[in-house]
């Protein structure tokens, strides 16, 4: 059980930035030497976001242990550098599933199972488990105050103050203070209503963080403090910024970290030093140059679907003091257009992951264009698989080559369902007659890098570990044939069952990875594959300018 708990709720509207607020506060507390962890509670009934459409949910963020989680876990890991696990994210679906399973087994000894105490007890149990051996646990409650599905969680965190004592529990409420342009005024009434809603269920916020387009006036702060029953110093302004990585520095200026330490009676364990973070933010805000990269995806209508990848490009650009301009290209549009029209002005081409047949031929077309025109290329997950199909068709000459996922009748299934699968530490054999077996390869797996390859130059090590989220993989039956035609298998699982990295030697930079490198990129430690791709794309830009 953690020594102290901070609960972060949101009001007025959704998507205000509770996740960024939680992550920023986590970074600030860690900078004092405190041991922290974070939890995201999602009120939806899905067990996890793994089956949800990206347009519904945004990115599914995968952890080392294979948990499919909310994208806020990505913010937590990026800001704090922590490696989280499945205990750091849970949903209504998981809570009810656990309670109903216990009821069916007779664990409640015939009692009537109710929201209070059985559901709320399960919620509190999970929160306390996540906070084991930590100085502070930050808990973010998804959704908005007033949502019916969030009520059991709010009741559980209300009870937590009684369980752990009021000195060990802090409530932070994030609200919107809209600016009415016509009146030229910031309006505090929505915040007052949101706090009143929270108070009606027994929770009085200790700190109110106000998201706004413009800085709060002294008058607005006083008004919120008076009507929401908090001290004026506990009204924190979260004004819009150029980059989310600036938010911890803004909170520092507002003295949020000092206020939290004071209210929880916490003593810093070391002197705070945010200089590296400050330098990184300055690099993002004032880049010396830029590079253009085509982002050939199938969910470009909702860029949140690629959140970690977007952030990974920001990290790599900041480390080089350049801005990475992503040119968003809908893969389906490329199927009907000459590639030169959409790709002729870029310095690098990225084909990210995804599921389903839609847009696959557009991705293959982009890869062919990158290969033939010697444009730096990076393929991730489905992007790597599409690169294998493109190579099979246009270099090896296997005209009827495709992924088994998209064409069961293809003569050459160069991408197929694996015959063996490892899930939760167990080997699962695929049933060839029913196509049943392990359905998804999730989480961190080891990969052995071949010497004298681009991959080895990038990582400069023999063994790596990367996170996966996919069903289909490279068909090993084609390994030797592909090698004869110049495809390099530069990364494989230790038992050589799974191809992890492919590359082409006769190309300035052409690499495909089966894993998702973006999940391990951090602001102060960009992922080497993505950083190398950005560096090569920038070199390509400069070479074109010189010519």
228 annotated active-site: no
Q: Cis peptide before 117, with omega less than 30 degrees from 0?
A: yes
DSSP output for 459-485: H-SSEEEEEEEESEEE-GGGHHHHHHT
- Asked if 352 and 383 count as a contact pair (C-beta separation under 8 A), the reply is yes
402 is known as an active-site residue: no
Supply the DSSP symbol for 431: B
Question: Helix or strand or coil: residue 489?
Answer: strand
The CA R_g of the chain, rounded to the nearest whole Å, is 25
| C-alpha span between 476 and 364 (Å, rounded) | 20
516 is catalytic: yes
SS3 content of the chain, % helix, strand, coil (to 5): 40, 25, 35
SS (H, E, C) 483-499: HHCCEEEEEECCCCCCE
Tell me the CA distances in angstroms from 361 to 52, 139, 295, 297, 365, one per residue in order.
24, 43, 15, 11, 6
DSSP summary character for residue 522: B
- For 361, the token pair is 């031929």
- Encoded tokens for 371: 């290969």
Nearest to 191 by CA among 249, 157, 238, 244: 238
Please tell me the distance from the alpha carbon of residue 29 to that of residue 277, in angstroms, as a whole number. Answer: 14
List the catalytic residue out of 405, 500, 518, 535.
Answer: 518
Angle at 70 between CA 66 and CA 73, to 5 degrees: 80
Q: Which element (helix H / strand E) includes 428?
A: strand 426-429
Residue with the two structure tokens 């088994």: 404
- Helix ranges restricted to H, 289-359: 307-320, 331-335, 339-343
Out of 57, 412, 516, 527, the active site residue is 516
Structure-token pair, residue 474: 């490279």
Distances (CA, A) of 208 to 205, 259, 411, 436: 7, 12, 62, 51
- Closest by Cα among 235, 215, 213, 239 to 224: 235
Which tokens belong to 442? 């999730």
262-299 exposure pattern, b = at least 16 Cβ within 10 A, e = fewer: ebbebeeeeeeeeeebeebbebbeebeeebbbbbbbbb
What CA–CA distance (Å, rounded) separates 319 from 526? Answer: 7
Rounded Cα gap, residues 349 and 343, in angstroms? 8
User: Which listed residue (381, 402, 404, 470) is catalytic?
Assistant: 381
Alpha helices in 328-429 (DSSP H): 331-335, 339-343, 360-372, 382-391
Known catalytic residues are: 381, 516, 518
């Amino acid at each position: 059980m953690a020594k102290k708990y901070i609960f972060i709720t949101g009001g007025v509207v959704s998507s205000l930035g509770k996740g960024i607020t939680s992550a920023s506060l986590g970074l600030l507390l860690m900078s004092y030497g405190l041991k922290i962890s974070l939890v995201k509670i999602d009120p939806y009934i899905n067990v996890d976001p793994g089956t949800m459409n990206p347009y519904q949910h945004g990115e599914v963020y995968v952890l080392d242990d294979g948990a499919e989680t909310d994208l806020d876990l990505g913010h937590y890991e990026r800001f704090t550098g922590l490696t989280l696990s499945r205990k750091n994210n849970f949903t209504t679906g998981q809570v009810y599933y656990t309670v109903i399973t216990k009821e069916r087994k007779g664990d409640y000894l015939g009692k009537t199972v109710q929201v209070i105490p059985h559901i709320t007890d399960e919620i509190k149990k999970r929160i306390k488990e996540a906070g084991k051996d930590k100085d502070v646990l930050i808990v973010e409650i998804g959704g908005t105050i007033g949502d019916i599905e969030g009520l059991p969680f709010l009741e559980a965190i209300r009870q937590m103050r009684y369980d752990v004592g009021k000195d060990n529990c802090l409530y932070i409420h994030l609200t919107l203070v809209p600016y009415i342009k016509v009146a030229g005024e910031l309006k505090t009434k929505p915040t007052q209503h949101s706090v009143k809603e929270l108070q009606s269920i027994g929770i009085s916020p200790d700190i109110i963080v106000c998201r706004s387009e413009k800085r709060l006036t002294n008058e607005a702060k006083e008004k919120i403090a008076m009507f929401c029953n908090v001290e004026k110093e506990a009204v924190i302004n979260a004004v819009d910024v150029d980059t989310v990585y600036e938010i911890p520095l803004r909170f520092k200026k507002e003295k949020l970290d000092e206020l939290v330490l004071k209210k929880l009676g916490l003593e810093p364990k070391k002197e705070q030093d945010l200089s590296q973070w400050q330098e990184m933010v300055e690099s993002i805000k004032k880049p010396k140059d830029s590079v253009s990269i085509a982002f050939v995806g199938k969910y470009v209508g909702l860029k949140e679907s690629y959140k970690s990848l977007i952030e990974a490009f920001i990290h790599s650009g900041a480390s080089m003091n350049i801005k990475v301009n992503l040119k968003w290209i809908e893969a389906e549009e490329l199927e009907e257009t000459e590639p030169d029209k959409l790709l002729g002005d870029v310095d690098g081409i990225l084909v990210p992951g995804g599921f389903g047949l839609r847009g696959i031929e557009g991705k293959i077309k982009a890869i062919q264009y990158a290969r033939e025109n010697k444009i730096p290329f990076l393929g991730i997950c489905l992007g790597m698989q599409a690169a294998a199909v493109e190579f099979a068709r246009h270099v090896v000459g296997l005209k009827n080559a495709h992924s088994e996922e998209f064409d069961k009748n293809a003569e050459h299934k160069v991408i197929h369902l694996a015959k063996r699968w490892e899930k939760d530490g167990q080997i699962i054999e695929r049933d060839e007659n029913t196509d049943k077996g392990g359905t998804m390869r999730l989480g961190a797996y080891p990969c052995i890098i071949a010497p004298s390859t681009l991959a080895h130059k990038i990582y400069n090590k023999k063994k790596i570990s990367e996170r996966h989220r996919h069903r289909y993989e490279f068909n090993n039956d084609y390994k030797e044939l592909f090698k004869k035609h110049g495809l390099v298998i530069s990364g494989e699982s230790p038992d050589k069952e799974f191809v992890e990295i492919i590359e082409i030697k006769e190309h300035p930079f052409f690499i495909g990875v089966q894993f998702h490198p973006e999940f391990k990129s951090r602001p102060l430690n960009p992922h080497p594959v993505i950083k190398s791709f950005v560096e090569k794309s920038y070199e390509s830009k400069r070479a074109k300018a010189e010519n």
